[in-house]
Structure formats: C-alpha cells, structure tokens
C-alpha cells in the first residue's frame, strides 16, 4: 500500500474531475470529499470508489454539470431536484441549506429527488456537526435488501446518518439498514475474513457469515430482522413522499445505473439549550465504550501523519483518468 | 379472558383516573389512550400496564395535575417542560404542537424534558398520521440496555416511532432499540415461549432466547448489535440536548421511579408533494410482505367487534382503583 499525502491525492482527483468536465471549484470539492473519506478510514467509499464514480459519469448516469435546484418550499421544508448531479456535491449543498434554515428557524429540512449516489453518507453528518448542528440524513437506494419474511430484494439498505456535535469529538452514526453494507461485505471478503455475526442468507436460504455468499444472493439481513426491515421501509417512504422522487422499487437494480434516488437532510440547532454541549460530554463520559465516530479521529490523525493508504494499481489508474 | 366493550373499558378507566385526581377531560383522554392501546393489540402497554401507571401516581413520580409548558422557542423548534405530568397526556399535547407547527411551516419539533413514561409510543405516531402528517418521536428511558461491548446497562432501549400517513392504512413503526422490549420479553415469558431469535445474554454472558433469563440479566441485545447501540446513544443525546432534561444515565433505574425522561416529537407535512399519497400506496404495494401497522388494523377490528380482551382479575382490580 502506498502512502500519499492528502494534498497530493486531492490534487490528483481534482485534475481527474476537471478532465471529466467538472467546473474547477466543484472538482476541488468532489476531490476533497473522496480524499477525506479515505482519510477517515471509510475505504469502501473513498478512493476505492472513485473508478465506479467515474464509470457512472461516463455512462451518463451522473451529470458532472448537474446542479440541485429548489423547486418547492413550505416554511422550513424544501423540495429540491438533484438534476442527476454528482450525489456528493448535491448532498453538501442540501445539508448546507438545512443548516442555514435551522440556524434561523431551529430546524431545517431538504428533501431532494433525482439525485445520485452520495458516496459516504457520514460526510454530511460531519458537515452538520462541524457547523454546530445536529444533522440527520438518509438516502434510499436501489433494491438490495429483502424485507424480513421475503427473499426478494424489494427494500434498499437506505443508509442513515445521525451526527451530534461535540467539541471533543463529534458523535457520528453512519449506518446502512442491512447488518453489513455491501461496502463492508466487500471489505471482509477482500481481507479473507468471515463476518463477526450472521450477515444474511446464502443462495440456498441458509444464514451465513460468509460475505461472498451474501454478495451472491443479494440477501443481507436487515439490522434487528423485522425492525430494520420496517425502518428501511419508512425511510424510503419519507424520502420519496417528501421529495417527489423515485422510491427504491423504481430505482434500477444495477450499481452502475443506480440513479434518481431521493435523500432527506434535516438539521436541528442545539443552541436552543445552553447546556447542550455539556450534556453531550456527560453522556459520552457515561458510556464506558467507544462512541460512533471516535475511531475516526484516531484513523484520521494516522492517515494525515503517514499519508493516505492507496493501492498502487489504483494510484496509477487515477493519474490517467 | 373477558371481552369488554371498549366504551365500558374507557368509562371504567375514566372513573379510576378521576378518583386519582385527574381533571375529567384529562381522565377521559388518558382512559382512551389505555383502551386504544389494548384495542390495537399492544397488550403490554394497555390495560395490563394500568396498575403500574397507578402505582407511579401513588408514589409521586407522576403528577396527575402536571401540565406541559413551553419554556423556549426558536422558530419551529420548541423546548417544553413536562412538569412530571402523565407521560401519555404530555405526549399527545407535544405531538399536537409539532403537527400545528408543521402545518404552518412544513416541519415542527417539540423537545420535552421532565416528562414521564409515555406508555405506548405508537399512539403519537398514529396521532400524527391521522392528522395527515409524517410523525417521528422517541423517548429516552432508564438505563436498561448495555451498549455493544459492555455488560452494564448504560443505554436505554429508547423506543422510536415513525408514522407515515396512508389512506388505506397508516404505516406505523414503533420499536425499541433492543431486539425485544421488556414488554415483549414479558409477553413471551407469560406465553411460555422462547424468542424467535437471540434476544440478549443470560447472567453468565451467554446469548439466549429465553426471555426470563434476559429479564434477570438486564442484558438485552441492541438491534443490529453495534448499530442499535449507536442509534440508542444518539437518540438519548438528541433528546437530552434539545430538551435540556435528563439523559438516560441520570434516570433512576427502577420502573416505578423512572421519571424525568426526555422525548422529541417531530412532524413533517407531506402535502409539499402532491404525489405523496399515491407514492405511499405504490411503495406498500411493491413490498410483498406485511408493513408495520398492518396487523394493527385487523386486531383493532376484532377487538372492537368482540370487546377488548381483559384478564378477569385485572378487570376486578380496575373497578376498585
């Protein structure tokens, strides 16, 4: 594994995105988001994801010049059209808008239709927390998760992010509704490891801890069985109903054609309570175990000090995109 | 099991609450909420829960005359103080306020501190859905769930409700962050059944499907292991930070003294999208399996036709409270 300074990674990705017809400032932001995802240790959605992102630009699913647009507003709730723009750039803008609304009105919400894969959802949670806001966002996805009681993938794994600001380290939960995201399954498979708990069914309908079997069957387990199944359903309903976009069952079930998804971004301003920051520290102190996001700070520091870990073949590929 | 018409159950409970110093209109509302919970088949939190509710009034934890009060507002976000009023009455009022805010501003949110057990959380989801709103609410609880990686119950099972309105039957998800709520564990135990999947650890730290063992160890499993553990944590943080009330670790770990909890009620108005109702139907039609809340309509119809099922000893007890 190479170790490349984050600035150099970002420059390389920026150049690649410019060659793909991103405007320079948008190329720089997109590059930063990918680099920061790898910096934070979310390797499945950082640089390793870049070639697939490029493929979705080249096949026309993602329009590098597509910009999101507000098409309806009712008070602090807005509907946006993503115009098939890059999902990560669209998401940053949507969360920014939710934050601005929340700063003025306590809460702000943006429901965006017709956008594309947002890559690492946690990015927009960190974004909210850095702005001092509680941020909640989720996306629907292509059908890739069978509801509990069925073997057909009619739900999405619909990742959801909840971020709580905290001076000593934000608490950022970033989780798919499946026990293991497809990114996580791939990581376990590439490391040659079994899952620590049952993660889904094999093609014969038996529960298994073998990640490759679940990638084959497309039958991951929802978190908490029937509970995660229900949660995935209502997240899809809220996203599609509020945004006016496509529901999971209307999204093409092909990672390279997964487009037209919906996302919801909500921000809450905790400054309504003077004691909020103090309370965040007290709760984390009482927990006794690691909180979501804690690990990120350690990995981030390491990757900033040593350089981002990059596969040599991928690094070569990134130069030539 | 007796079968008593819902009107007669409601009258009996109303009389009992009046004798406990509820004002008549509040007694009637409280009685209706308990009766409707049993009507809907949530037996653990309906009539069967009434004696414990009475005990918390008699021991001073719940003040039958306590009324919630708005103590701070920032736009569509309000902080309320529950004044230790009956948790179910407080919750109805908070969700009503969130709905009113959402009707005007698209979204409304009430964070309530110093309230008491809300009984069946789903009631407030149905309330939002009946009003045509998407409703989200959650509560923190006393410490009753060990975070993943720990054997000490430092988190709450923090039930969360998400309700999506739909003319042909609202979709209402009502779930604790533990794989089985304590109410569900008790129901399985009373029926002499094992849990369908592992529900927690026994006192020796082994995973078990025996509900009684988990009631003894206080070590239920969070849904999705580390994921539900993280979700429970951020729900507690948001509730305590936004409301200014107690976090789970500050709530007495005794079901009869569980007071001062925090709750958050959020409503979103789906009328921002003309196609929302249609989309709700299409998603449900695409699912292929039962949706959360579907079962309720069948049980509700049966219990309205036959009368509510009531244990004879409990029915006698209710006459004399």
Cα–Cα distance, B308 to B42 (Å, whole number): 11
Per the listing, tokens 């900033």 go with A304
CB-based contact, A273 to chain B, within 8 Å: yes
User: Which helix H or strand E contains A126, and what residues bound it?
Assistant: helix A122-130
* Residue in A with minimal Cα distance to B160: A231
Instruction: Chain B: give the shortest CA distance to residue A251, in Å.
Output: 12
B77, B224, B288 ranked by CB distance to A269: nearest? B77
The mean per-residue pLDDT over the stretch B293-312 comes to 97
* A197 part of contact set with chain B, CB < 8 Å: yes
Q: In A, which residues are within 8 Å of B77 by CB distance?
A: 102, 105-107, 268-269, 272
Please count the other Cβ atoms lying within 10 Å of the Cβ belonging to residue B145.
29
Structure tokens at A61: 């699913």
Q: Do B76 and A197 touch (CB under 8 A)?
A: no
- Are A105 and B75 contacting, i.e. CB atoms less than 8 angstroms apart? yes
* Crossing angle (nearest 10°) for helices A312-320 and A50-58: 30
The domains of chain A are located at: 1-58+294-321, 66-178+222-287
**Burial class (CB within 10 angstroms; exposed 0-12, middle 13-18, buried 19+) of B168:** exposed
Across the interface, of A74, A102, A228, the residue whose CB is closest to B223 is A228
Nearest by Cα to B106 from A247, A161, A102: A102
Q: Do B292 and A249 touch (CB under 8 A)?
A: no
Residue of B nearest to A235 (CA): B162
- H helical segments located in chain B: 6-19, 24-39, 50-58, 87-105, 122-130, 182-190, 211-217, 226-243, 276-287, 294-306, 312-320
Residues in A closer than 8 angstroms to B224, CB to CB, are 175, 179, 223-224, 228
Q: For residue A219, report the phi and psi dihedrals to the nearest 5 degrees.
A: -125, 60
Query: Mean pLDDT over residues B232-242, rounded?
Result: 98
Residues 173-192 of A with CB under 8 A from B: 173, 175, 179
Instruction: Give the C-alpha separation, A16 to A162, whole Å.
Output: 31
User: Between A6-19 and A50-58, two packed helices, what is the crossing angle to 10 degrees?
Assistant: 10
pLDDT at B49: 95
What pLDDT score does A187 carry?
Answer: 86
A83 catalytic residue (yes or no) = no
Q: SS3 helix, strand, coil % of chain B, rounded to 5?
A: 45, 20, 35
Q: Output the six-digit token pair for B160.
A: 């969360």
Structure tokens at B194: 């094992």
Crossing angle of the two packed helices A87-105 and A24-39, in degrees rounded to 10: 90
Give me the residue label for tokens 């002499």.
B192
Residue B183 pLDDT > 90, yes or no? no
Nearest-Cα distance to chain A for B235, in Å, is 9
Distance set, CA A287 to CA A293, B44, B143, B157 (Å): 14, 29, 11, 14
Residue B204: how many CA atoms within 13 Å on its side-chain side?
2
Contact at CB, A173 and B230, closer than 8 angstroms: yes
Nearest by CB: B227 against A77, A223, A268: A223
Instruction: Please give the residue of chain A at the shortest CA–CA distance from B104.
Output: A75
For an interface test with B, the pick among A268, A285, A291, A296 (most B C-beta atoms closer than 10 Å) comes out as: A268
Cα distances (Å, whole numbers) of residue A265 to A13, A112, A243: 26, 8, 11
Q: How far apart are CA B135 and CA B107, in angstroms?
A: 10
Check if CATH label 1.10.1530.10 holds for domain A1-58+294-321.
yes
List of chain A residues with pLDDT < 70: none
- Quick one: closest CA in B to A112, which residue? B273
> How distant is the alpha carbon of residue B272 from its chain centre?
28
CA separation for the pair A16, A22 (Å, rounded): 9
Residues of A in contact with B150 (CB under 8 A): 288-289
What would the DSSP string read from start to end of B300-311?
A: HHHHHHH-EEE-
Residue B320's contacts (CB-CB under 8 Å, 6 or more residues apart) are none
Topology classification of domain B68-178+222-287: Ribosomal Protein S8; Chain: A, domain 1 (3.30.1370)
- Nearest Cα of chain A lies from the Cα of B311 at a distance, in angstroms, of 29
Does the beta-carbon distance from B105 to A244 stay under 8 Å?
no
β-pairing verdict for A107-116 and A77-81: parallel
Q: Do B244 and A275 touch (CB under 8 A)?
A: yes
Question: Is the model's pLDDT at B124 over the cut of 90?
Answer: yes
Residue A261 host element (H or E): strand A259-268
Rounded CA gap, A202 and A211, in Å? 9
CA pair distance A66, A74, nearest whole angstrom:
24
Beta carbon pairs, A and B, within 8 Å: 233
The token pair that represents A141 in the structure block = 């996805």
CA-CA distance, A21 to A86, in Å (whole number)?
12
Cβ contacts of residue B294 below 8 Å, gap of 6+? B169
The per-residue pLDDT for A182 is 87
Write out pLDDT tens, residues B250-286.
Answer: 999 999 999 899 999 999 999 999 999 999 999 999 9
Distance CA A169, CA B278 (A): 42
Interface touch B283/A228, C-beta < 8 Å: no
CB atoms under 10 Å from CB of B317, counted, come to 15
| CB contact (8 A) between residue B292 and residue A230 | yes
Is A268 an interface residue toward B (CB < 8 Å)? yes
- Which residues 229-258 of A are in CB contact (within 8 Å) with B? 230-231, 233-234, 236-238, 240-244, 247-249
Put simply, whether B309 touches A (Cβ < 8 Å) is no
The whole-number pLDDT of residue A183 equals 83
β-strands B107-116, B77-81 pairing: parallel
Architecture of domain B1-58+293-321: Orthogonal Bundle (1.10)
Is A225 in Cβ contact with B227 (below 8 Å)? no
Q: How far is A139 from A263, CA to CA, in rounded Å?
A: 4
The phi and psi torsions of A254 (rounded to 5 degrees) equal -150, 120
Give the residue from B91, B263, B140, B111 showing the smallest Cα distance to A270: B111
Interface test with A, best of B121, B227, B269 (most A CBs within 10 A): B227
The predicted structure's pLDDT at residue A139: 98
Hey, which CATH number is domain A66-178+222-287, 3.20.20.70, 3.40.190.10, 3.30.70.260, 3.30.1370.60? Answer: 3.30.1370.60
Write out pLDDT tens, residues B11-55.
999 999 999 999 999 999 999 999 999 999 999 899 999 999 999
Please report residues of A whose CB lies closer than 8 A to that of B134.
Answer: 238, 241-242
What would the two tokens of residue B181 be?
Answer: 């709520």
A281 touches B at CB < 8 Å: no
Asked if A169 and A297 count as a contact pair (C-beta separation under 8 A), the reply is: yes
Count CA atoms closer than 13 A to A173's CA, side-chain side: 25
Asked whether the beta carbons of residue B109 and residue A148 sit closer than 8 angstroms, the reply is no
What token pair was written down for B293?
């809340």
Share of chain B above pLDDT 70, in %: 100
Residues of B within 8 A of A147 (CB-CB) are 287-289
Q: Which residues of A touch B237 (CB under 8 A)?
A: 164, 171, 279-280, 283
Please tell me which residue in A45, A81, A114, A170 is annotated as part of the active site. A45
CB–CB contact B237 A164 (8 Å): yes
In angstroms, the CA B12 to CA B314 distance is 12
CB proximity A100 to B under 8 Å: no
Query: In whole angstroms, what is the distance from residue B203 CA to residue B141 CA?
Result: 22
DSSP notation for A13-65: HHHHHHHTT--HHHHHHHHHHHHHHHHTT-GGGTGGGHHHHHHHHHTTSS-TT
- ipTM of the assembly? 0.98
Which helix (H) or strand (E) segment holds residue A305: the answer is: helix A294-306
Helices within B120-181 (DSSP H only)? 122-130
- Pairwise CA distance, residues B63 & A4, whole Å: 63
Residue in B75, B81, B308 with CA at minimum distance from that of residue A100: B75
Which residue among A224, A243, A286 sits closest to B228, beta carbon to beta carbon? A224
Kindly report the backbone phi and psi dihedral angles of residue B72, in degrees, each rounded to the nearest multiple of 5, phi listed first. Answer: -160, 145
The residues with which B134 forms a beta bridge, in sequence order, are B268
> Tokens for A296?
């990120």
Q: Residue A237: which of B164, B231, B236 has the nearest Cβ? A: B164
């Amino acid at each position: 594994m190479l170790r490349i300074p984050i600035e150099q990674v970002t420059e390389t990705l920026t150049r690649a995105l410019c060659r793909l017809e991103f405007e320079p400032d948008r190329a720089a932001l997109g590059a930063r988001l990918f680099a920061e995802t790898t910096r934070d240790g979310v390797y499945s959605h950082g640089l390793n994801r870049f070639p697939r992102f490029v493929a979705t630009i080249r096949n026309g699913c993602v329009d590098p010049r597509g910009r999101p647009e507000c098409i309806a507003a009712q008070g602090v709730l807005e509907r946006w059209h993503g115009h098939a723009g890059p999902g990560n750039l669209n998401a940053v803008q949507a969360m920014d808008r939710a934050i601005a609304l929340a700063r003025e009105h306590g809460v702000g919400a943006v429901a965006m239709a017709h956008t594309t894969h947002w890559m690492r959802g946690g990015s927009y949670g960190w974004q909210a927390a850095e702005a001092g806001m509680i941020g909640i966002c989720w996306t629907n996805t292509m059908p890739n998760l069978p509801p509990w009681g069925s073997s057909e993938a009619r739900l999405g794994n619909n990742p959801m992010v909840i971020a709580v600001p905290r001076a000593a380290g934000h608490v950022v939960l970033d989780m798919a509704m499946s026990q293991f995201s497809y990114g996580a399954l791939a990581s376990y498979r590439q490391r040659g490891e079994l899952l620590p708990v049952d993660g889904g069914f094999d093609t014969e309908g038996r529960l298994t801890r073998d990640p490759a079997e679940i990638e084959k069957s497309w039958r991951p387990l929802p978190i908490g069985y029937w509970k995660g199944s229900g949660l995935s359903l209502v997240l899809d309903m809220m996203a599609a109903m509020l945004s006016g976009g496509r529901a999971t069952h209307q999204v093409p079930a092909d990672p390279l054609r997964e487009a037209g998804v919906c996302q919801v971004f909500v921000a809450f301003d905790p400054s309504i309570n003077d004691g909020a920051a103090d309370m965040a520290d007290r709760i984390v102190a009482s927990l006794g175990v690691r909180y979501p996001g804690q690990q990120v700070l350690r990995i981030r520091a390491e990757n900033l000090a040593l350089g981002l870990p990059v596969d040599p073949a991928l690094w070569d590929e990134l130069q030539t995109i």
